[in-house]
Amino acid sequence: MTVIPASTGTTWPVIAEASGESAAAGTVSGVLALGQAVGGPVVGRLSDRRGQRLVVSLASALNAVAIVLLVAAALSDRPVAVQAACAGCAGALTPQIGPLSRTRWLTLTSGHPDERRLVAAALSGDGTLDEVSFTVGPAIAGVLAALVDPAAGMLLAAVLVAGCGVPFALHPAGRPAAAPEKARSGRARDRAPLLSAGLVILCAGMAAQGVFYGSVQIGLAALTGRLGHPGAAGLLYGLMGGVSAAAGLVVTVFPGRLDLTVRLKLTALGLVAATVPLLAVDGMAGLTVAMALIGLPIAPYVVTLFGLAERTVPRSRMGEAMSVLVAGIIVPQAIGTTVAGRLAGAHGPAAAFALTCSATVMAALLAAVAVTTRRFPRNA
């Protein structure tokens, strides 16, 4: 399960429209991303230690309130510092529904005769849904901004977080903290090391994907604007997300026999092959085909990263680890958006897409060199 949270893609149109300044929008969106990156692992850690019911329900309710306050501050033209404070709170209080749902699958499948296959399928499915939120969320925000109001996307995020996050938190699978008689063993598990070379590598792979998301979004907007179809950017980004989601579901249902380390290498190479044509696209037809093709390897790449995390992280700290991985994509996405925006403004859409290609090349090199079965053993 996942929801479409407030993000830089949904926040930017509101602030830019209200203030008329891209700099203000960039500042507020950047603080939101920083809040998500810092607060996400904290929410995951508290959920692992105290149980998801209390932590996620409080985070969901407070996150929705913070989003509404951010929209109100923007529309009433409050100082940028006030808007940034609201954005930071909204980011830090993101309830981490996607990452934490994966820890529930580990509990629900524990002891099942086919546990490993079920865990792999569940992690792939949840990873696909998380990836959809990163691609479909900004697309929905763009459509709502064009058809309704720039604030509509943010308010929809608030409704989804409160309406889905609280019921998710209260579901019976969201167990409370360990009983007193289990506290000693629970504390021992809490001391299990989280940081490892494997997790750092996976976070680097997520960071490359974040730069990809941010830069391809800017390049797409710049090129569709140059071609005279600025409104098509959101639709084409949504097309990429739809194809990606379908590919992710195929991987979930038909995982195949490839080890995850091999699958990561292949999907990373697929990202490189799919993004290079963007450098030569000069028409809407070619751009549409290119965006559809790009969608094919995205979800398989992301869900494979999440699957590898299950091999290298202690189960008692899985919620925190998954939140760290998601946080690893957020700030790089904001950086990718900022850098690509400057490149597109100075040198045109191809320059933004060059950053996209660079990110996928880095992801492929990382997978080829650092992701091995020795570091990520199948039965770890």
- In tens, the pLDDT along 54-68 reads 899 999 999 999 999
Question: Burial of 282 by CB count in 10 Å (0-12 exposed, 13-18 middle, 19+ buried)?
Answer: exposed
55 or 194, greater pLDDT: 55
Task: Record the pTM.
Answer: 0.76
Stretch 242-261: mean pLDDT: 82
C-alpha neighbours within 13 Å on the C-beta side of residue 172: 1
Q: Is 203 helix (H, G, I), strand (E, B) or coil?
A: helix
Instruction: Indicate whether 366 pLDDT > 90.
Output: yes
Complete DSSP assignment for 279-315: GT--SHHHHHHHHHHHHHHHHHHHHHHHHHHHHHS-G
Question: Worst-scoring range by mean pLDDT, 74-78, 230-234, 259-263?
Answer: 230-234
* Domains present along the chain, CATH in parentheses: 8-370 (1.20.1250.20)
Q: How confident is the model at residue 356 (pLDDT cuts 50, 70, 90)?
A: very high
Structure tokens at 211: 């730069």
Task: Copy the structure tokens of residue 347.
Answer: 């040198």
Query: How does pLDDT run across 246-255, given as a tens digit for each residue?
Result: 888 888 777 6
- The H-assigned helical ranges of the chain are 8-19, 22-50, 52-75, 80-92, 97-108, 115-147, 150-170, 183-190, 197-226, 232-253, 260-275, 284-312, 318-347, 349-370
